[in-house]
Structure 1
Amino acid sequence: MTTRKRPSGSGGPASTSDRYLVIGAGPAGLALAAAFRRRSISFDLVDRHHAIGGLWDRENPGTPLYDSAHFISSRTMSAFAGFPMPARYPDYPGHRLILDYLREFAAHHDVHEHFTGGRAVTSARPEPSGGWAVSFSDGRSHRYAGLAVATGRQWTPRRPEWPGAFDGELIHARDYDGPGRLRGRRVLVVGGGNSGVDIACDAATAAVETRLSLRRGYHVIPKYVLGRPADVFAAQSPPLPAWLRQAVMRRLLRLLAGRPEDYGLPAPDHRIFESHPILNDRILHHLGHGDVTAVPDVVALEGPEIRFTDDSTWRPDLVIQATGYRVDFPFLPPGLVGAGAGTPDLYLHVLDRRRPDLFFLGLFETDAGAFPLLSRQADLVASAVLTHRLGGPAARLLAVRKQLRPNLSGGVRHLDSPRHRAYADQRVYRRELERAHRELEALRAGGDPSRWRDH
């Protein structure tokens, strides 16, 4: 058990030779905290919010959660390694149950004794001699041996730059809380991600009229396939080459629900899995019943009206931009691993390629539940910390390994977009994370480094 050392409140940063700082007490930070505890790595866990939970705690200012938010992967496939979700949970738990699960996980691993809430990191700068000088919002500062950034991807909205101005109410999906603000209004939802479709389904039953604006077509995958959650069905199916898997799923979806364009949606301009699908077949129900109408992309704001790419216009009361989020690390120096300019270029989306004391967790997109992969990321970080401490050949080989760029696509050519630059096929990604972790452990145990270098 680690003895907590509180940061100093006066003078320069308090020093430590071996303690790591984990920033963010959401799923990624908790996964790493558990891994650090298992490996007896000293650490502090901090969060600008006062309680554990990250974006899954709706009390936290800025969370993108809304009343109807549920997991889009099933509980069977979405748990941390070694810590299954309770059998009493439904197939697709809501946000309250997920928050309960996260706090039970934290309690199980005794994370609370390392946690300080209500303390934001205002600055983290690498020291010339190694380690990090970190300043906090309470005026304290501390030196850490390493930094693990687990602040997540969904806090800073990405807003489209439309010409003109809108006379009605315009918000980002991050500021949407539930159907209450939709009642009696004409609502335009912009964006085909799962949040946008969820909000459009809320509006279908609450608003006077709802339109869903999409810039491209998407494939729609039902949450249940042949009576099983879609991800369970996929996991229980035999592994297939990407092209065959795409062909089989396309045919299956055609049989189950027809084509997206049969419901007034634009035809997808890509093959299935090349972009994120819509995991919500409720939208097909509402489109088929006229509760939601699909419209093209927005091109301009014209006072009380919105103009679309087909030159049609509409006069909504409320526009909700479900247009995603951008990765942002305001506490890191500009230019460090591309901080503030997009998803960093990292080995396996985790290890910084230049610094052995800097790690990121949760900065990926995948076609399955994230929590199991966060567990594997955390194991890799813990092994990398211990390998670096060995120094000598082990540390040098780790530095070589971090320059490799394994193909994580699973044979699928994803669309070129900010979101898909961090996309990974979950089976391939899990395999690569586990292999890198095993090889680091073997290297630390005195294994043959020659075979490890060749991958």
Structure 2
Amino acid sequence: MSTSTDHTGPEPGAAAPADGRQVYDRGDTVCVIGAGASGLAAVKNLTEYGFGVDCYERETGIGGIWNWRHDRSPVYASTHLISSKPFTQYPDFPMPDTWPDYPHHAQLLSYFERYADHFDLRRHIWFGTEVIRVEPAGDDRWYVTTRSTGGYGAERTSRYAAVVVANGHNWSPKIPAYDGLDGFRGQVLHASAYKDPAQLRGKRVLVVGAGNTGCDIAVEAAQQAARCWHSTRRGYWYAPKYVLGRPADQVNDTAHRYRLPLWLRQWLFHRLLKLTVGDLTRFGLPRPDHKVYETHPIANSQLVYYVGHGEIAPVPEVTRFDGAQVVLSDGRQIEPDLVIFATGYLPTFDFLDQGILGADESGRPALYLNAFPRRHPTLAVVGLVQPDSGIFPLSHWQSVLIARYLRQRERAPERARAFGGRIDADADRRWHEARVKDSTRHWFEVSHVEYMRALQRALDELGVPA
């Protein structure tokens, strides 16, 4: 397997875990877990700061969830970006000008392939290798135990100077529990298993969940299924992908650039939706119980269109399953052939003790800037954000900050200690100006403008390594 340094060269280190495992000392090398969008950014920026890097990727190629060939990829045939190109691309590697505003997932994968080749990242990556355990090794170092994906071959434990976790948070399905679900006589899928409209063709389909994926699948069901119901727990604001002739996130960013206060931006958005979409309750959709920006934005220009044409029937939340029927909260009973749970994902770090990330009883970690845990200065997480824009620029600057912090621990320890104090003080802070709903879907919600400003302040505080 090609790597940045010789993996077979070091002799077993003297320091070993209590169980006597053989340990290969990797010196000052940093371990990166995952070669998706965030992992690639981490590898690139760590190497630019002079670190040796070993990246472990459980799959046989790069791209993470954007590589549809991967077992854990939730990508389906028609998946496109919901954030526009300028707010999605890495800041030092722009997407082609000829690409559309909202590129297709196949274009995204080719973008990552070119990014990896341009910065010569593949030589740092161990493909087909999964991390099964990460443990403190003392002296702020880490034992990382790996094996071939699928549990084949012997385990190998290596000692690293630091670990950057970039395994993503959109691959471990969150499946709700309902009375009678086990005995339901229809077919049940999580959205992660939905791949092609052929799965919907001619069926009576119930889509549960009003996130971007749920809305997209409901739209496809409107075109392919014999009938489509769309179940939501609350009302949402459905933003069109284009506003005033431009991608909606670009219009929103213009309002941020002029530093309009939140209340004024909310008023303008509500006014704009009233003029363009109208009263959502007229279509049978529930009235939103929150202001715009208080939940993750839903960018979909077609949902209201198909609701208005009677091809999607909005229904309230599901209460239970009864044989072949689904019982709704208003007492109605429907009989779908297929139920698709577009109910999101939960962050999963099954190789790491959750206490290390300061996780609470619900499993939500406590991380400064969604990246840095308390008491572990050589451990960081990249990409654990859900912004109102694209995530790749945020992952880029997160990994720049991580690389700078690790380097300044050696070259400017006073600056690094001051930054460590900020981690302790602000690990529980949320980086959003609105009162975001407190649900697992919104654990990592950030306002991209506020969050980027915080990253910039942190970079300035750490300074440029001498």
Q: So what's the TM-score if we normalise by structure 2?
A: 0.92
Deviation at 1:392, TM superposition (A): 4.2
Amino acid aligned to 1:440? L
- Corresponding position of 1:92: 102
- Corresponding position of 2:439: 417
Instruction: Tell me which of 343, 347, 363 is aligned to 2:384.
Output: 363
- Please say if residues 9 and 140 of structure 1, whose CA atoms lie closer than 8 Å, have aligned partners that are also in contact: no
Q: Deviations over 1:153-183 (max 9, x none)?
A: 1111111110113111111001111111111
| Matches of 2:372 and 2:463, distance apart in 1 | 16
Say whether residues 1:268 and 2:288 are aligned partners. yes
- Corresponding position of 1:427: 449
Map 1:50-61 to 2 at 5 A: 50-61=60-71
- Corresponding position of 1:108: 118
| Matches of 1:285 and 1:124, distance apart in 2 | 49
- Corresponding position of 1:330: 350
Deviation at 1:419, TM superposition (A): 2.4
| Matches of 1:434 and 1:299, distance apart in 2 | 46
Deviation at 1:330, TM superposition (A): 0.6
| Matches of 1:294 and 1:42, distance apart in 2 | 53
| Matches of 1:392 and 1:234, distance apart in 2 | 40
- Please say if residues 218 and 260 of structure 1, whose CA atoms lie closer than 8 Å, have aligned partners that are also in contact: no
- Corresponding position of 1:383: 404
| Matches of 1:30 and 1:260, distance apart in 2 | 41
Instruction: Tell me which of 19, 29, 35 is aligned to 1:19.
Output: 29
Aligned partner of residue 246 in structure 1, secondary structure: helix
Say whether residues 1:145 and 2:166 are aligned partners. no
Instruction: Tell me which of 155, 170, 177 is aligned to 1:161.
Output: 177
Aligned partner of residue 92 in structure 2, secondary structure: coil
| Matches of 1:272 and 1:18, distance apart in 2 | 46
Deviation at 1:337, TM superposition (A): 1.4
Amino acid aligned to 1:209? R
Amino acid aligned to 2:7? R
Aligned partner of residue 440 in structure 2, secondary structure: coil
Map 1:388-403 to 2 at 5 A: 388-390=409-411, 392-403=413-424
| Matches of 2:447 and 2:456, distance apart in 1 | 14
Distance 1:3 1:324, change over 3 A: closer
| Matches of 2:124 and 2:72, distance apart in 1 | 24
- Corresponding position of 2:6: 5
Amino acid aligned to 1:285? Y
| Matches of 1:339 and 1:111, distance apart in 2 | 32
Instruction: Tell me which of 190, 195, 209 is aligned to 2:227.
Output: 209
Distance 1:335 1:409, change over 3 A: closer
- Please say if residues 36 and 65 of structure 2, whose CA atoms lie closer than 8 Å, have aligned partners that are also in contact: yes
Deviation at 1:143, TM superposition (A): 0.9
| Matches of 1:439 and 1:399, distance apart in 2 | 11
Unaligned runs of 5+ in 1: 446-455
Say whether residues 1:436 and 2:458 are aligned partners. yes
Map 1:194-233 to 2 at 5 A: 194-233=212-251
Instruction: Tell me which of 241, 249, 267 is aligned to 1:247.
Output: 267
- Please say if residues 169 and 384 of structure 2, whose CA atoms lie closer than 8 Å, have aligned partners that are also in contact: yes
| Matches of 2:11 and 2:51, distance apart in 1 | 24
Amino acid aligned to 1:236? T
- Corresponding position of 2:367: 346
Deviation at 1:343, TM superposition (A): 3.3
- Corresponding position of 1:284: 304
Q: Deviations over 1:265-302 (max 9, x none)?
A: 11000001111232102001110111110000000010
| Matches of 1:295 and 1:15, distance apart in 2 | 58
Distance 1:239 1:129, change over 3 A: closer
- Corresponding position of 2:134: 124
- The count of aligned residue pairs is 443
| Matches of 1:373 and 1:358, distance apart in 2 | 18
- Please say if residues 74 and 193 of structure 2, whose CA atoms lie closer than 8 Å, have aligned partners that are also in contact: yes
- Please say if residues 328 and 339 of structure 1, whose CA atoms lie closer than 8 Å, have aligned partners that are also in contact: no
- Please say if residues 4 and 54 of structure 2, whose CA atoms lie closer than 8 Å, have aligned partners that are also in contact: no
- Please say if residues 65 and 74 of structure 2, whose CA atoms lie closer than 8 Å, have aligned partners that are also in contact: yes
| Matches of 1:352 and 1:273, distance apart in 2 | 27
Distance 1:431 1:29, change over 3 A: same
- Corresponding position of 1:173: 191
| Matches of 1:24 and 1:31, distance apart in 2 | 11
- Please say if residues 369 and 431 of structure 2, whose CA atoms lie closer than 8 Å, have aligned partners that are also in contact: no
Instruction: Tell me which of 337, 347, 350 is aligned to 1:317.
Output: 337
Instruction: Tell me which of 314, 317, 321 is aligned to 1:294.
Output: 314
Amino acid aligned to 2:175? R
Deviation at 1:338, TM superposition (A): 4.3
Aligned partner of residue 299 in structure 2, secondary structure: coil
Aligned partner of residue 298 in structure 2, secondary structure: coil
| Matches of 1:185 and 1:35, distance apart in 2 | 48
| Matches of 2:190 and 2:212, distance apart in 1 | 14
Say whether residues 1:74 and 2:95 are aligned partners. no
Amino acid aligned to 1:89? W
Tell me which stretches of 4 or more aligned residues in structure 1 moved more than 6 Å.
Answer: 8-11
Unaligned runs of 5+ in 2: 13-20, 149-154
- Please say if residues 408 and 462 of structure 2, whose CA atoms lie closer than 8 Å, have aligned partners that are also in contact: yes
Amino acid aligned to 1:372? P
Distance 1:392 1:436, change over 3 A: closer
- Corresponding position of 2:54: 44
Q: Identity, % of aligned pairs? A: 39
- Corresponding position of 2:17: none
Identify the range of structure 1 (88-97 vs 392-401) with the bigger mean alpha-carbon deviation: 392-401
| Matches of 1:3 and 1:230, distance apart in 2 | 41
Aligned partner of residue 290 in structure 2, secondary structure: coil
- Corresponding position of 1:448: none
